[in-house]
Amino acid sequence: MSAQRVALWAAEPDLDDDINDVDIPLTIPSYQNADLYDDPNLQLDESALLAAQAQIAQQTALAQLPDVVKRFIVHFHQAVLDNNLPEITLAYESGWNRLTEKFYARTEWPEAEIIAPLVNDDQIFLILYRELYYRHVYSRLQPDIDDRFHSYENSCELFNYLLNSDGGPVPLSLPPQWLWDIIDEFIYQFQSFALYRSRPANKTDEELTMLGSEGGAQAWSSYSVLNVLYSLIQKSRVNEWLKARAEGKTEEEIDEIVGEYGTKPLYRQLGYFSLIGLLRVHVLLGDFTLALKVMDNAGLGLCVGEKAPFTAPTAAHVSTAYHAGVCYLMLRRFTDAARVFTGCLNWVMRARQYHTRSYQYDQINKTADRMYALLALCQTLAPTRLDDNVTNAVREKYGEQMTRMGRGEEGLGTFEEIFLYACPKFITANPPPYDDPNALALLINPPTPTSPTSPTATSGTLAITDPTQRHLRALSAHYLALSPVPTLRSLLKLYTSLDARKLTGFLDAGVDDEEVLSWMMVMKNAGRCVGRVRGAAGADKDEKIGASAANGGSTGSSLLDGEWMSISDLNFVIDENMIHIAESTVGRRYAGWFIRNSEHAARVLDGLRASPLPVSLTPPGARTQGKGGESKGDTSKDTAPRTSGQKVAWSKIV
């Protein structure tokens, strides 16, 4: 038996893959009491036997791994130990994905325990490996409840290691893409668990017990997720770092401010990504003001034309823009939302060619699609002029829906549909009462409702409502309030002054004066919204908007700041019963076109004048006026004098 085992380990078939001459430090485990098993009369220790059997199983599994995978893991491990950032990046980005496609497209990667011998039981590497393992499970397969709990424990171990190791910051160096993915995945698993947990129906008994247990209540609790993110931010002092950079402090001062953790790129990047993570978590929990407040120091980066503090992965920028836009949308600050979305979509369209790798590309595209949808909603509620490219794309995708929504109340269904497609999957902070089976049963099967005034009904048996519905209702109410606006607009555009009673006559029967006046007030309200005002530079949109804003906010201001600005081009005022209307029109802009083309013509002219004249040996009659070699394509040939060509006269350029 032992001979057979040695053979398994020693086997090393020929390889066709690149990592050819890596020394595989295989340790052949030695079984001290191997002879014990040969004596049938001896009482075997049950647990030892089980352990031995488990180890045999493990080794068999390990041996069954493709060699390519084994080599990859060893190579990866070595790179991590050496803090060799380029190698790690390569292994992480291309190696892992390639092997997943090849071997593990539909199954899980081998468990960490199996590959442990390959990496000498390096616990830190195994934690990182498990992080990748569970990410694969969540994205390609369906995680069961064990997976969920274990991935939570693994994340806790990882963050514990990063934050609470004795002796300060850990000597680990990982590529920013991986760090972003760690945070992103952590929040994604939290969201996934919250959604899973909030549906108590159709759960097996085992699941119910696990969820109701002490550990079950602790796993993926909102407080612990927030705790992780806040700790990363505080440890790395990333807010102080951002503020110091904005104030223009020197490197030494900054290093002092951020302390020993903050100077290491690992922690600084984790801190910055945690800020974006917090933005996302707060949006998921429905707290939009706090979400924006968190990003005050970081700003919204590339999405609004500002520079990002360092090269962050594309996905980070896209995520920031998406969630910040959702916040502004729910705060009814439609101009700001539109600006954020447009900025990001423009950037994504331009950068698309560089990002065709792996699952990142799909995810970015999906988020971009949702942003287009939300932009369509913004345009319906607050029409403004936007960048042309983006407007065309939105019209392409949602033109029909936008016309439907522009017709008032009948567009409500379309509005809700688009919102439900594009909004984030909101979650509730609290789980259903798994620890109380009676309460849980009541929740799943609520008793038939009695009349609202009876005392039993008010003792609060609420059915489970989806938080998304709550948010949808708030925005739909706003949409419904604005539904008379399109009709009114079209009528008012035809007049400069109009009696209110006449206006009532134009509208559908059954509408009285008072209601029309209410609608006018609503329309006036809809024509204004709070928006952030930037400085004069780049305030192109403000010109078209005809803003009544004051000087723009400085870069140090909060993301929640803003001014009331007018966003409608149709302005009116009511003088008792007479409505006076004034429309602002945007004049044609032609100066830019002319200037550009003049400059282009000037450049061409200069080019022509600078080029060498053809030498002409013929009598004056055929000489061209000296302003440039006009030729039919061969100015380089001096030998062909033009004797019969047309005389060319260059008129003075005015």
Partner 1 sequence: MTSATSEWLTPSTRTELIENLVSGVDRYNPSNVGILEDYLYHQIRSEEYDCLANLAILKLYQFNSDLYNPDVVVNILLKALTAEPFPDFDLCTSLLDDRPVNVNPDEPDPLPVLLPILTNLYNLLHQCRFPAFWTFYHSDELESLRENYIVECVGFEEAVREVAARAVKATFTRIGLDRLGTYVDLSGLELESWIEKQGWSLDTSTRTISIPSNPDNEIESVVIRENVKLGQLQKVIAHAAQIR
User: What residues between 423 and 462 interact with partner 1 by CB under 8 A?
Assistant: 428-430, 433, 439, 442-443, 452, 455-456, 458-462
Q: How many CB atoms lie within 10 A of CB 72?
A: 22
Interface pick for partner 1 out of 41, 202, 250, 585 (rule CB under 8 A): 585
Q: Is 374 in the site for partner 1 (CB under 8 A)?
A: no
Can residue 287 be called a binding residue for partner 1 (CB under 8 A)?
yes
Q: Which is nearer to partner 1, 210 or 530 (CB)?
A: 530
> Under rule CB under 8 A, which residues in 515-534 are in contact with partner 1?
515, 517-522, 524-525, 528, 530, 533
- Spatial separation of the C-alpha atoms in residues 606 and 597, rounded to whole Å: 14
- Residue among 49 and 582 whose Cβ is closer to partner 1: 582
Q: What are phi and psi of 581, to 5 degrees?
A: -120, 140
- Judged by CB under 8 A, the number of residues near partner 1 is 94
Instruction: State yes or no: residue 217 binds partner 1 (CB under 8 A).
Output: no
Residues of this chain, 473-492, that bind partner 1 according to CB under 8 A: 474-475, 477-478, 481
Residue 591 is a binding residue for partner 1 (CB under 8 A): yes
Q: In sequence order, which residues have a C-beta less than 8 Å from that of residue 428 and are 6 or more positions away?
A: 194, 198, 285, 467
CA atoms of 484 and 41, how far apart (whole Å): 93
* CB contact at 8 A, 376 and 343: no
Among 543, 604, 625, 634, binds partner 1 (CB under 8 A): 543
Q: Is 388 in the site for partner 1 (CB under 8 A)?
A: no
CB closer to partner 1 out of 8 and 574: 574
- Helix or strand (DSSP H, E) at 74: helix 67-82
Among 136, 243, 293, 642, binds partner 1 (CB under 8 A): 293
Pick 354 or 590: Cβ nearer partner 1: 590
Q: How far is the CB of 242 from partner 1 (least distance, A)?
A: 16
Question: Please, which residue, 71 or 237, has the CB nearer to partner 1?
Answer: 237
Which CB atom, from 223 or from 354, has the smaller least distance to partner 1?
223
Q: How far is the CB of 443 from partner 1 (least distance, A)?
A: 7
* Nearest distance, CB of residue 24 and partner 1, angstroms: 48
Q: Does 561 bind partner 1 (CB under 8 A)?
A: yes
Shortest approach of partner 1 to residue 419 CB, angstroms? Answer: 14
- Contact yes or no for 424/329 (Cβ under 8 A): no
Stretch in the footprint of partner 1 (CB under 8 A) among 63-71, 204-212, 300-308, 514-522: 514-522
Residues 317-346 touching partner 1, rule: CB under 8 A, are 330-332
Binders of partner 1 among residues 595 to 624 (CB under 8 A) are 595, 598-599, 602, 605-606
CB 425 within 8 A of CB 468: yes
Strands, DSSP E only, in 73-196? Answer: none
Considering only residues 139 to 158 of the shown chain, the ones binding partner 1 according to CB under 8 A are none
Q: Find the shortest distance in angstroms from Cβ 63 to partner 1.
A: 49
Binding segment (CB under 8 A) for partner 1, from list 8-16, 21-29, 153-161, 557-565: 557-565
Cβ-based nearer residue to partner 1, 136 or 627: 627
DSSP line for 285-329: HT-HHHHHHHTTTT--GGGGTPPPSS---HHHHHHHHHHHHHHHH
The C-alpha atoms of residue 386 and residue 541 are separated, in whole angstroms, by 8
Helix axes 314-330, 358-381, angle to 10 degrees: 20
Among 100, 173, 222, 346, binds partner 1 (CB under 8 A): 222
CB of 429 to partner 1, least distance (A): 5
Q: For residues 286 and 41, give the distance between their C-alpha atoms in angstroms, rounded to a whole number.
A: 68
Whether residue 536 contacts residue 567, with contact meaning beta carbons closer than 8 Å, is answered with no
Best CA proximity match to 583, nearest among 626, 527, 531: 527
- Maximum alpha-carbon separation in the chain: 125
* Residue-wise burial string across 558-569, b where 16 or more C-beta atoms lie within 10 A, e elsewhere: ebbebbebbbbb
In the bound complex, what is the minimum distance in angstroms from residue 150's beta carbon to partner 1? Answer: 25
Q: Which residue has the tokens 């009369």?
A: 41
539 part of the interface to partner 1, by CB under 8 A: no
Query: Does the footprint of partner 1 cover residue 564 (CB under 8 A)?
Result: yes
Gap between the Cα atoms of 108 and 140, Å rounded: 9
**Residues sharing a CB contact under 8 Å with residue 563, sequence separation 6 or more, in sequence order:** 530, 531, 532, 533, 547, 549, 550
The tokens for 161 are: 């290691």
Tokens encoding 68: 């390519």
